[in-house]
Structure 1
Amino acid sequence: MKALLYESSQNLRFCEQPNSIADNDNTLIDVNAVGICGSDMHAYLGHDERRPPPLILGHEAAGMLPSGARVTVNPLVVCETCDYCRAGRSNLCLQRQIISMPPRAGAFAEQLAIPPQNIVPLPNSLSLQQGSLAEPLACGHHTAGLGVVHSRRSLAECQTAVLGGGAIGLASALSLTARGAKEVWIADNNPRRRKALEKTGNFHIVTPEALPTAMDVVIDAVGHEQTRRQASTITAPGGVVVHIGLASADGGFDMRRLTLQEIVLVGSYTYTMTEFKETVEWMGKGKLGALDWFETRPLSDGARAFADLLAGNVAAPKIVLIP
């Protein structure tokens, strides 16, 4: 099969790779659409020790079963038996695996092998390209949900801010709105992206410097030292910071202010299967907007797509590759 292979830092090659294989534990999917995630970019830059080359990256996939059924994929493979899985927190499974991370190859390829329980049917109202957005939207769904759980007031009464207007930031903003938030601000440094974000929903789109303070719920969808510092600064006393960005591991949080103002800080990682299925349901019902905020490119042009993302030459929050 043809695949986009990550070979070394900033080096991707479109080439032949061994075919994916169905077995007693995995079903074969013909991949029709797969998104580029920020974590793919981290690996591409050599910043993710969990994804050593050579490796097929990509985990935001939709495609077709041999039966012809149209499906999207929950890339998080869990044991279903540990305490976390049994408690409904499968995203924290002690044996969790994710495609695009050893030992599982990713979806930047013509085919993908995945356990059947990780396959979710697509509503007829969604295209396969839109189906590939289910994974980042589920991340945003989980993140916004944590904001709801830890907030001191209802979302309808909250001022909310999202730092970063990529797919995860936009997904978080869309989910906040779907859950009842009236005031949602999105801050992004890229002027081309800010212009594209203006078409995605009823959001205040600003530069990071223009964000107001006294926000009740702040989502850091970037995870740089500077965004964590800003989250510490703009969150109101008793407010919530939900941190999902994985750009860097260290620095930024003003722990003294978080302590003195009793600001809740909570990490967010992926989603449960229940949340993933609910996300697909919301997508099909139009609760998460038009889902038209991506651009498509052929998988064979994947290396150029990564280079364009790194250079800031992409306006769309998401690039979807087509094998």
Structure 2
Amino acid sequence: MNYADRLDQAVLSKGNPCLVGLDPHLDLMPEEFTAVRDPEATRQECASDVTRFLVGILDAVADIVPAVKPQLAFFEVLGPEGLAAYESVVAASHERGLIVIGDAKRGDIGSTAAAYAQAFLTGGPGSDPATLCDALTINPYLGSDSVQPFLEACDAAGAGLYILARTSNPSSAEFQTQGSPTLTERVADAIGAWGAERLGTCGFSSVGAVVGATHPAELVALRERMPHTPLLLPGFGAQGATAADVVGGFTEGCRGALVNSSRGILFAARDGGNWKDAARQAAQQMAEELSQALSSPA
């Protein structure tokens, strides 16, 4: 099944477009995870803490949200043991019926791009299909030949892509809004063209775009420019974007976009409170805020 169709079904089933970013900042993890604070701990001990923490988060939110987004950097910092933890978390996410978006932001040319695509989407020798992503974030800065291997992998695996278009970080305008048309607009047009060849029955394509929720006016314009593109909207919560800021990224109800929150859910507990309960409550609150904003008259 086309990735966009699977995603659309998952969002409609849960009734909200919440995406939980799995960014296990070691210094923010609850106090019960002692290895990540112990300078004498091994990487395996730290990776075990990360796995246990994130599986606990999955158990807390899996019946609320449709999708999760593990950020590779926080696993890579723990070396091979961290990558094994990443695969365990991806498999645990799939076991709970969640869409998994690998947040790797990979970008390269030729055989290197093909190897990245194989690693995350189609699988290398001996790969466990349960550890592969449903979709992957990529960086298009190197041009269309750097994107093509990922598109081919998506076609082979029924997977999706989220291509960086307008990112949420403060300095993104240094490159992305320059020129006429801007770099963002040129990337958006390319995303639309790639996606036109990969439409699902739901009307959206398997080629998505990352657009920061911290740019609400540009979000509206980019949604108009890419009417069939599923959007991934980072910046909600800890980065300052509100439910009202993301409304322009949606097409009908909760369809057409995912809104990401990472720290606001993972580390919602305060003063040593129950971190699973706090994460669940934060996810429920996010879902309610988005549902209310998306159902309100324009």
Give the TM-score, by structure 2 length.
0.31
The two structures have a TM-score, normalised by structure 1, of: 0.29
Larger strand proportion of the pair: 1
The structure whose residues are more often helix, as a share, is 2
